């Protein structure tokens, strides 16, 4: 994924339009600091609902728009991960490895990543 400021803005804007808190249903703020991991075709975001304080971990599959428009989209890019965790083998391996390093704690993972980016 070519991460340039414009592409990132477009991706975050689309997420902002669609994401609602699963606890209370209000819109959740989505901005750049929410992005914790940005790999080739996925992004991992940590969001927090300002209404009820719920934390939300959102995994986003990112595809190249030119490929999607051309109709040459692999099956993996069609997975809906908004309500269930549907990961490819590579994504699952990456997630498991990261969680093993932090003993299963998303909080420690995000704290360490947040501290490394400052």
**pLDDT for res 46:** 92
Measure the N-to-C terminal CA separation of the chain; round to a whole number of Å. 23
Count of other CB atoms within 10 angstroms of residue 95: 17
The 3-state DSSP class for residue 86 equals: coil
Tokens standing for residue 110:
């995000």
Dmax over CA atoms of the chain, in Å, equals 42
Nearest to 15, CA basis, from 53, 50, 62: 62
pLDDT tens digits for range 19-37: 898 889 899 999 888 888 8
Residue 65 has pLDDT above 70, yes or no: no
- In angstroms, rounded to a whole number, what is the distance separating the alpha carbons of residues 37 and 108? 14
Q: Is pLDDT larger for residue 90 or for residue 26?
A: 26
- Among candidate residues 92, 94, 98, the one with its CA nearest the CA of residue 111: 98
Sign of CA dihedral 57, 61, 64, 65: negative
Q: Give residue 70's pLDDT.
A: 44
Q: Do residues 45 and 15 touch, judged by C-beta distance below 8 A?
A: yes
């Amino acid at each position: 994924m070519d991460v340039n400021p414009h592409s990132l803005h477009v991706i975050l804007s689309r997420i902002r339009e669609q994401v609602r808190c699963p606890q209370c249903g209000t819109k959740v703020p989505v901005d750049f600091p929410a992005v914790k991991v940005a790999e080739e075709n996925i992004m991992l975001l940590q969001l927090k609902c300002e209404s009820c304080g719920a934390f939300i971990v959102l995994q986003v599959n990112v595809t190249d728009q030119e490929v999607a428009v051309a109709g040459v989209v692999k099956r993996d890019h069609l997975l809906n991960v908004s309500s269930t965790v549907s990961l490819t083998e590579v994504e699952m391996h990456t997630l498991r490895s990261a969680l093993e390093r932090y003993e299963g704690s998303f909080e420690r993972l995000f704290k360490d990543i947040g501290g490394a980016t400052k």
